[in-house]
């Protein structure tokens, strides 16, 4: 099973300093939904691992979170893509839970749900904690320079990468999708398989 684990706020949709609190505030990053669809068409399953402490902080309730995700799924479907599941932590930092990133609890849940070893499964996010949580279970770290990372300077990006060795940096989710598909294409070519059309919507 080919699996990619994505952060939500700042990676798929625009981030907000005051939290994304309603479907109206849930606005996709340009090109992100198309990138997920392209990954799907190339054979990857995509799931989300997201901190949603707005619930614990009383900023919105579960019905509102579900409405946000319904909007995400509906908009993604228009591009021919899908997210298989959303795993989220509703807690605040004061709860000291195991599921709030950078803790790895959400990733362990994903591994258990799908019955897969998460070693080398790509994790994509825009902040340090996304990558720290994933690498604790062996995920391959990828930083996108959208969301909070869009405001980071080169020195800050370098510092983040030093804290999570092996991190690959991409301009956005579209650039990550292109990188991953091209790597898979190279593997197919090396194995003597035809690369023609790989990663396009009709394959």
Catalytic residue, from 9, 126, 130, 172: name it: 9
Task: Answer whether 146's CB lies under 8 Å from 158's CB.
Answer: no
User: What strand order describes the sheet that includes 140-144?
Assistant: 85-89, 45-51, 3-6, 122-125, 140-144, 168-170
Structure tokens at 161: 């990468």
In angstroms, the CA 143 to CA 126 distance is 6
Residue 98 appears among annotated catalytic residues? no
CB 4 within 8 A of CB 122: yes
Q: Answer positive or negative: Cα dihedral of 16, 107, 88, 36.
A: positive
Q: In the annotation, is 95 catalytic?
A: no
What amino acid positions are annotated as catalytic residues?
7, 9
């Amino acid at each position: 099973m080919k699996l990619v684990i994505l952060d939500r706020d700042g990676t798929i949709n625009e981030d907000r300093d005051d939290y994304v609190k309603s479907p109206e505030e849930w606005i996709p990053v340009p090109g992100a939904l198309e990138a997920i669809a392209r990954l799907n068409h190339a054979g990857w399953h995509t799931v989300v691992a997201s901190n949603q402490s707005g619930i614990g902080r009383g900023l919105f309730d579960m019905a509102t979170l579900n409405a946000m995700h319904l909007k995400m799924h509906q908009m993604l479907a228009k591009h021919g893509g899908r997210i298989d599941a959303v795993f989220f932590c509703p807690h605040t930092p004061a709860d000291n839970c195991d599921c709030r990133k950078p803790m790895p609890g959400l990733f362990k849940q994903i591994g258990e749900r799908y019955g897969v070893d998460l070693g080398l499964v790509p994790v994509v996010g825009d902040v340090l904690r996304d990558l720290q949580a994933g690498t604790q279970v062996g995920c391959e770290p990828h930083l996108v320079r959208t969301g909070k990372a869009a405001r980071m300077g080169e020195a800050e990006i370098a510092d983040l990468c030093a804290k999570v060795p092996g991190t690959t940096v991409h301009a956005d989710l579209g650039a990550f999708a292109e990188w991953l598909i091209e790597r898979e294409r190279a593997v197919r070519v090396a194995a003597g398989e035809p690369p023609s059309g790989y990663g396009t919507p009709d394959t």
